């Protein structure tokens, strides 16, 4: 299995092209953390359980993503800086369909 390219725009607006592994059952929040693209204590605070909104991101490409679970919908409804493109990055598993996905990390809150 090969890695795929994903584009992550950090909180300062800087664009990063990163390689995401398909065989590590990782999600986008974990990808951001593994490349240290956000302050460690500011993202993924709940560890990826959709129980905080610290990993909110905006999807900036037209990829078709997995559907939001009820838990994710509910947590997003309490998040700030919400947009229609908002997702919790911990709820997006990395799959080959995400090749060249563009996401922007939402402001820290």
Give 103's strand partners.
Answer: 8, 59
Is 106 near another protein (CB under 8 A)? no
Is 24 near another protein (CB under 8 A)? no
Is the CB of 95 or the CB of 109 nearer to another protein? 109
Is 40 near another protein (CB under 8 A)? yes
Give backbone dihedrals phi and psi of 96, rounded to 5 degrees, phi first: -65, -25
Helices (H), 1-109: 28-34, 70-76
Is the CB of 75 or the CB of 101 nearer to another protein? 75
User: What is the rounded CA–CA span in Å between residue 14 and residue 55?
Assistant: 17
User: What is the rounded CA–CA span in Å between residue 45 and residue 59?
Assistant: 20
Give 46's strand partners.
Answer: none
Binding mask 76-95 for another protein (x = CB under 8 A): -xx-xx--------------
Is 42 near another protein (CB under 8 A)? yes
Is the CB of 2 or the CB of 77 nearer to another protein? 77
Is 103 near another protein (CB under 8 A)? no
């Amino acid at each position: 299995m090969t890695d795929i390219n994903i584009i992550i725009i950090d909180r300062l607006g800087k664009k990063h092209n990163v390689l995401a592994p398909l065989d590590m059952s990782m999600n986008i929040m974990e990808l951001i953390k593994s490349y240290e693209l956000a302050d460690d204590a500011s993202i993924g605070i709940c560890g990826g359980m959709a129980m905080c909104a610290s990993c909110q991101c905006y999807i900036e490409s037209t990829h078709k993503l997995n559907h939001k679970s009820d838990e994710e919908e509910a947590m997003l409804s309490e998040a700030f800086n919400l947009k229609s493109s908002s997702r919790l990055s911990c709820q997006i598993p990395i799959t080959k369909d995400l090749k060249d996905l563009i996401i922007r990390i939402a402001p820290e809150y």
